[in-house]
Structure 1
Amino acid sequence: MYRNHFELTKKPFEISPDPEFLWLGEKHREGLAVLKYGILENKGFLLITGEVGTGKTALIRAIEREVKARAIIVTIPDPGMGLMDFYHFLAAELNIERDFRNKGEFLARFKRLMLEAFSGYRRVLLIIDESQRLNHELLEEIRLLSNIDLEGKVVINIFFVGQSEFREILAREENRAVRQRITVSYHLPALDEAETAQYIRHRLRVAGTQREIFTAPAVQAVHESAKGLPRLINILCDHAMMTAYIRGAKTVDAEIVRECARELGITIGEAVPGGKTAGGKRADAAETPRTKAPSAAERPRASGSRVRAALVFALVLLALLAGWHFYGDAVSQQLALWGKGREAPAAAFPRGQEPGASLQAAPPLPLAAGLRPPPEDAAKAAPPAEAAAPAPRQAAPPASEQATPPAAPEATAEPRRPAAEAVAPAPRPFVLQEFTVFFDPNSIELNPRARETVATAAGLLRASPGTAALVEGHSDGAGDPAYNLFLSGKRAMAVKTQLVAQGLHPDRVNITAFGAERPVDTNETAEGRNKNRRVVIRIVPRPGS
């Protein structure tokens, strides 16, 4: 969408791995050299870990290209499976016939394949991605695969790739046999600020421009917001370039980057590993931290502490219940007396009419002062005729009663406040109108019906200058959560772009990306996923209007 504006030949910040955009910084090159050494020297088990989005997949692709001619490479993208499912998947990747009925038949054929590969001067490299999903039983089975050798020579390299939590799994006492076989390990750290600048510059060069689109303060803001994680850098930079395009700017400054970071809601945790391995240095398997198990003497004490805590909690709960039984009415009356003369509590929206619910079947909401609805909604916004009906006329009294002097008027009671005034509005933004736009899977394109809906929303916004639009992007629950968050942000930005094209100022449109966090239906069915792939436009009073 913004390629022509910045004179690019392709989009520079896609999150899917693209070999053409591969950039290896100093830490990536060091990790590549260490792991390549472990593979070529038949070191057996290798380990690479890193936080989410640090570039582990890019490093794996680089290793595959380096050793592809000398090795048979099998990649298992998700090891969260049972034992026989694991064997069947491995057999399919190695082109082994899959009519074996048990583990023994598979191992016999697997060993035959290993020996054939070794006789052809080729090694077998088994890459297990997302290793933090491995359980103890499957870890042990993978370890036993390495027992297949030829006169003491290793015929298979097993390469674990996972998040930092996998080191904690290996540190467990039950996994010590696997831990002791890891001879080469490397932790991939995040990029520093200088590497972040090089990374952004490299991707822009590959995309077809030599111009510095991001200012130096903008690059610094990207690094601070994305914490040096390449995947988040891609998401944030793509969003910032889209915002600059909407505003007609030829460069991206720090203000745009910070605004996009707030809209995307990027939150990063602290780095997990420490020491030499966390700094990007090679670590021996013996240096892997171990989790200290409680001793036999400590276990009874811990059990006794839990029992005492449970008894104390039960006694406190019984005391509270007894106090309420004897003094509950008096407390309630006193609270009621204190509440007199104060503002009424916040109003709860009726079920089905809270902000975010569809307004098609709900009664019309009152407009803020100074706002008027569009002509087609004027009738809906007007109160029902019954609510404004005049008081009924009284029939004229008979002549005999006209001469009777009227009785002294009774003291007029203070008119009762309507029930609606007894409660104040809820703290969420007050929604004047709401529109929903739906999307096809993995798409950010607006179809004709969606464009018509956006045009209707834009017309209402233009007719009411004191309003603003809250644009919320959503996705279904299929796929990677980071990708879903990215996709929902792109959908929200596409709707904002269309609203701006309809004549609205960008400052009146605020976007938020939720990914798959707020589904309106189940993600287990195609119909439910269709409803969840959406962007919601909420028209609310503009702050200060």
Structure 2
Amino acid sequence: MYESFYGLTKKPFQITTDPSFLWMGKKHREALSTLKYGVMDNKGFLLLTGEVGTGKTTLINRLVEDIHGKAYTAKIPDPGLSKYDFYRMVSRYFGLPIEVRTKSDFIEPFSRFLNDAHEEKKSVLLLIDEAQRLKHDLMEEIRLLSNLERQDAKLLNIFFVGQSEFNSILLQPENRALMRRITITYNIDPLDQAETCAYIRHRLKTAGAGYDIFSSAAMEAVFDFSRGYPRQINIICDLAMFFSSQVSRRTISRKIVDQCRERISFSVDELPSETRTNHRAPAPTNHYQPAQRNRRRWLSAARVLGAAAVLLLIGSGVYFLPDPLKDSAGQWVRETYRTYFPGSGNPSAMVPTVDSASPSANPGDATAAPHSPPLVVTPPLADAPALRMPNQPPDLDLPDTADARPRPAATAAPSAASSEPPVAAVKSSAAELPDPADAIDWLLNKRKQELSQ
């Protein structure tokens, strides 16, 4: 877009990892030589770490290019895989015709491949990029792959490339076995101001620039923004070259870099202003909970316990009352019950019953017709309540004693050989039943005798 304006053959600050734009500073040359030595000497596990945008991927691409023809390489760009997917990807990148269904399907052919490479005097390098995404179970599988070795040489080199937090992952107790097998480590630091200026000039020269497009003040402003991270250098330099071409300025000044910096939402390693100068409100400690309807709000534990305590107190008080008070209370309850429920009394105490199994205990107190079962009047029970008498009993012409009444003729008990029971004979005719008035007279006479005593 702006290449022709500056006389360039291609854009110098692309985000892609183009090996032709690799700038080998002192730190990068040291890292490259160290890692190349570890691979070619079969050191086993290697580790390269650095912050985001420090040029790790560009460096390992240069490493692969330098050892081309001397080693078999396979690069896993994203290790967030399952165990068998990892084995399938390794087989495909090494060019092995393996259909992985079980672990043995992968281990046996891969072991033969490593031995064949050793016979050819070639190293085998497995590159795992973004190593901070590795899970513990997959890290254990990778560690076990390093056991495929000979007594005199390592057959597989495993190269971890990740961000700085991968060091903390390795320090966890469950990963200490893998950490102790790493023989070579290197960490890439950001560039300083002098290296940033050399980096910008190198990229512009590689793209075909014939003069210094960025002024010294502009490159200083680029370093203030990027803090030496190559990726951020590429972002702001590319934007500055675009804006400078729009205003037809072939030399980029500090003012243009500052204007581009305002259009970028954030800078590297710079905290947001709200966390540096302001204090955020604390997060709420109580979480939202939907309202729940309580259909029995009146029924609570305190009320239930209170009601139980009151009932217990009343029951214990009644239990310890003196017997006279208990009798008075019982009499009052019975009288109240008869007052409000007059038809629900016990009729057995007032209605005469007919005993068909045996003759009358007092045949002179009842009158019965010949050949009829005797009338047996059952007196009221001793614990039954006393009959309520009016204040002034009616004037009745009653004999003084029961002997003054005419005695009926004694009747014999019904024969046991009778085919029909006496009860059936009583129910056969209503005229044969005794007169109820005699029973009432007997009851009144008995009550009068009890009162006179």
TM (normalized to structure 2)?
0.59
User: In the TM superposition, what is the alpha-carbon distance from 1:100 to its structure 2 partner?
Assistant: 3.0
Match of 1:212 in 2: 212
Answer whether contact 2:48 2:160 (CA < 8 A) is retained: yes
Q: What are the residue-to-residue correspondences of 1:384-533 with 2, within 5 Å?
A: none
Look up the SS of the partner of 1:36 in the other structure: helix
Answer whether contact 2:117 2:124 (CA < 8 A) is retained: yes
Answer whether contact 1:225 1:266 (CA < 8 A) is retained: no
Find the aligned partners of 2:270 and 2:126 in 1 and give their Cα distance. 31
Matched, 1:3 2:3: yes
Match of 2:137 in 1: 137
Answer whether contact 2:84 2:101 (CA < 8 A) is retained: no
Deviation per residue, 1:206-246 (Å, 9 max, x gap): 11113011010100110110111111111110100000011
Match of 2:448 in 1: none
Find the aligned partners of 2:149 and 2:22 in 1 and give their Cα distance. 35
Find the aligned partners of 1:181 and 1:262 in 2 and give their Cα distance. 47
Q: What are the residue-to-residue correspondences of 1:323-338 with 2, within 5 Å?
A: none
User: In the TM superposition, what is the alpha-carbon distance from 1:27 to its structure 2 partner?
Assistant: 0.5
Match of 2:125 in 1: 125
Match of 2:101 in 1: 101
What letter is aligned with 1:29? R
What letter is aligned with 2:198? Q
User: In the TM superposition, what is the alpha-carbon distance from 1:38 to its structure 2 partner?
Assistant: 1.2
User: In the TM superposition, what is the alpha-carbon distance from 1:151 to its structure 2 partner?
Assistant: 2.2
Answer whether contact 2:50 2:164 (CA < 8 A) is retained: yes
Answer whether contact 1:15 1:231 (CA < 8 A) is retained: yes
Find the aligned partners of 2:262 and 2:75 in 1 and give their Cα distance. 37
Number of aligned residue pairs: 276
Find the aligned partners of 2:194 and 2:215 in 1 and give their Cα distance. 13
Deviation per residue, 1:308-344 (Å, 9 max, x gap): xxxx967xx9xxxxxxxxxxxxxxxxxxxxxxxxxxx
Answer whether contact 1:149 1:155 (CA < 8 A) is retained: yes
Match of 2:60 in 1: 60
Look up the SS of the partner of 2:67 in the other structure: helix
Answer whether contact 2:88 2:99 (CA < 8 A) is retained: no
Look up the SS of the partner of 1:214 in the other structure: coil
Answer whether contact 1:12 1:204 (CA < 8 A) is retained: yes
Matched, 1:179 2:179: yes
Find the aligned partners of 1:250 and 1:35 in 2 and give their Cα distance. 41
Find the aligned partners of 1:116 and 1:52 in 2 and give their Cα distance. 38
Structure 1 segments, 4+ long, off by >3 Å, are: none
Find the aligned partners of 1:34 and 1:99 in 2 and give their Cα distance. 36
Find the aligned partners of 1:79 and 1:207 in 2 and give their Cα distance. 34
Find the aligned partners of 2:63 and 2:104 in 1 and give their Cα distance. 32
Looking at CA atoms only, which structure, 1 or 2, has the larger radius of gyration?
2
Find the aligned partners of 1:217 and 1:46 in 2 and give their Cα distance. 40
Find the aligned partners of 1:4 and 1:169 in 2 and give their Cα distance. 48
What letter is aligned with 2:121? Y
Match of 2:407 in 1: none
**More strand as a share of residues:** 1
Find the aligned partners of 1:26 and 1:224 in 2 and give their Cα distance. 21
What letter is aligned with 2:189? P
Deviation per residue, 1:259-298 (Å, 9 max, x gap): 1122022321279xxxxxxxxxxxxxxxxxxxxxxxxxxx
Match of 2:74 in 1: 74
Matched, 1:32 2:12: no
Find the aligned partners of 2:100 and 2:84 in 1 and give their Cα distance. 10
Q: What are the residue-to-residue correspondences of 1:101-250 with 2, within 5 Å?
A: 101-250=101-250
What letter is aligned with 2:144? L
Find the aligned partners of 1:74 and 1:19 in 2 and give their Cα distance. 18
Find the aligned partners of 1:253 and 1:266 in 2 and give their Cα distance. 21
Q: Structure 2: state its 5+ residue gaps.
A: 272-283, 290-453
Look up the SS of the partner of 2:68 in the other structure: helix
Find the aligned partners of 1:36 and 1:199 in 2 and give their Cα distance. 23
Once the two structures are aligned, what percentage of the paired residues are identical? Answer: 47
Answer whether contact 2:5 2:245 (CA < 8 A) is retained: yes
Answer whether contact 2:215 2:252 (CA < 8 A) is retained: yes
Q: Calculate the aligned-residue CA RMSD, in Å.
A: 1.9
Find the aligned partners of 1:181 and 1:256 in 2 and give their Cα distance. 50
Look up the SS of the partner of 2:263 in the other structure: helix
Find the aligned partners of 1:313 and 1:103 in 2 and give their Cα distance. 49
User: In the TM superposition, what is the alpha-carbon distance from 1:66 to its structure 2 partner?
Assistant: 1.8
Find the aligned partners of 1:172 and 1:113 in 2 and give their Cα distance. 33
Find the aligned partners of 1:117 and 1:52 in 2 and give their Cα distance. 34
What letter is aligned with 1:54? T
Deviation per residue, 1:412-460 (Å, 9 max, x gap): xxxxxxxxxxxxxxxxxxxxxxxxxxxxxxxxxxxxxxxxxxxxxxxxx
Answer whether contact 2:84 2:100 (CA < 8 A) is retained: no
Find the aligned partners of 1:10 and 1:131 in 2 and give their Cα distance. 33
Find the aligned partners of 1:145 and 1:208 in 2 and give their Cα distance. 46
Deviation per residue, 1:7-64 (Å, 9 max, x gap): 1111111111112211111100011111112112221100000111100011101111
Match of 1:326 in 2: none
Q: Structure 1: state its 5+ residue gaps.
A: 272-311, 318-545
What letter is aligned with 1:219? M
